[in-house]
Structure 1
């Protein structure tokens, strides 16, 4: 009887996943053409076709299903070039479209206290960004706006940490952990890469592991629910969360995995075929030049104005081993 009950529980759990997946994929398919245009335009913007990309994204601002993400991508083009004055209007307009109603009325202290919660994570960053902008804190406002839109673009998924990825993708993890991306957090520690730091006018003996200007690119998910946190001494939960997100992890390139892992576990359990669209619909990202340019841009120390990251010249230098995915159909 117990065995039969467990079988029924497994069956209905799988059925729920399929039903929820069907709803998500249906919604994704409804805007599928827009999504493909968005993805292509975002890629083109970082691949030498800027004017073409901007024209496509601007046209998508009139499409209610894609206006928010189109505005986000238009803002990112300028944000990655350090042009905050041009990025902020796009970010702000996109968030105003996503959240057209009145704000919560919370003050800066109350909103800041809510930054780690998953509920209303994007809206909280939007409201806090508005307050920062009104106080002339343009850098903080731009980052909050960008983070809020990043959460929307990831379909509300949160970070789960590299150990969860390792449990199913051990071979990828095992090759990744030896890369510069995996070890990027180590370079923030005193005495590590001293010569390189000296050339870039950094103090080689200084501890940069709590510097917010560094953590955004040397960790994963900093400022996003579930992502890297600066843990207080003795806070075991926060220390674990920090350890799981130190360096550029799987989620640093593929996006937060709280929603895609449910699909991946279902695929593994039922040994069923799947396509990338299923994962894309819940925030999983295909790695391309867009995975790199949030950090490898003109704000990267040592880079000159006008610097352009050449993805094809760098993609094979520091990535994990690509393992054939057994059930992938495309």
Structure 2
């Protein structure tokens, strides 16, 4: 009987952290929270154009490229809903970007733009002690592990609805990666994660 009690107790301890998050929808937390555990990824991201995507919406920035696709280079696009969907993180979503004045920490194309809102994952990882497969926790925490390729990038932003998608400016992941736009060389997804 004592063995059964112990097994039930161990089962509850093992399952409870996941059950407590089951009814909750994840929200956006921002790069500062991701950076706490993923510093090499942050440092890589911080050197890319993704981290500065919001700046492209400012008047005068990349004027020639804007003219080429019929945009007014002197216009301020930093409050344009169509542009914000791709140039900030979590636009219009719980915890995501609202305005530059209210949520400046959410500007740019951050981790959660591809991996999804990280609130549950972040709390789960901070709460647990020991070695875990990050991939399992990402699934339970609601995050995604998209394969870094052309499809993953064009699904959300680099698609036909974007003013910068035309035959002359078609998005090419491998080319952009080589130019330093996207870096995915620091990947530890299959490695155990120690807290």
Bin the TM-score by the shorter chain: 0.7 to 0.9
Tell me what 1:294 maps to. 156
Q: 1:213 to 1:281 in 2, by over 3 A?
A: same
Tell me what 2:188 maps to. 324
Q: How many angstroms apart in 2 are the aligned matches of 1:20 and 1:315?
A: 41
**CA offsets, 1:16-49, max 9 Å, x none?**
9843345489x8xxxxxxxxxxxxxxxxxxxxxx
SS in structure 2 at match of 1:182: helix
SS in structure 2 at match of 1:273: strand
Structure 2 counterparts to residues 231-250 of structure 1, below 5 A:
231=100, 238=102, 242-250=103-111
Runs of 4+ in 1 over 6 A off after TM superposition: none
Q: 1:16 to 1:205 in 2, by over 3 A?
A: farther
Q: State whether residues 210 and 230 of structure 1, in contact with CA within 8 Å, keep that contact through their aligned partners in structure 2.
A: yes
Tell me what 1:176 maps to. 45
1:208 equivalent to 2:69? Answer: no
State the superposition RMSD in angstroms.
3.2
> Higher relative contact order at CA 8 Å, sep ≥6: structure 1 or structure 2?
2
Q: State whether residues 271 and 327 of structure 1, in contact with CA within 8 Å, keep that contact through their aligned partners in structure 2.
A: no
Q: State whether residues 124 and 141 of structure 2, in contact with CA within 8 Å, keep that contact through their aligned partners in structure 1.
A: no
Q: 1:286 to 1:18 in 2, by over 3 A?
A: same
Structure 2 counterparts to residues 52-131 of structure 1, below 5 A:
none
Please report the TM-score for the alignment, with normalisation by the length of structure 1: 0.47
Gaps of 5+ in 2: 1-10
Q: State whether residues 164 and 170 of structure 2, in contact with CA within 8 Å, keep that contact through their aligned partners in structure 1.
A: no
Please report the TM-score for the alignment, with normalisation by the length of structure 2: 0.76
Q: 1:308 to 1:282 in 2, by over 3 A?
A: farther
**CA offsets, 1:76-131, max 9 Å, x none?**
xxxxxxxxxxxxxxxxxxxxxxxxxxxxxxxxxxxxxxxxxxxxxxxxxxxxxxxx
Q: 1:204 to 1:16 in 2, by over 3 A?
A: farther
Gaps of 5+ in 1: 1-14, 28-151, 233-237
Structure 2 counterparts to residues 232-311 of structure 1, below 5 A:
238=102, 242-267=103-128, 270-288=129-147, 289-304=151-166
Q: State whether residues 57 and 77 of structure 2, in contact with CA within 8 Å, keep that contact through their aligned partners in structure 1.
A: yes
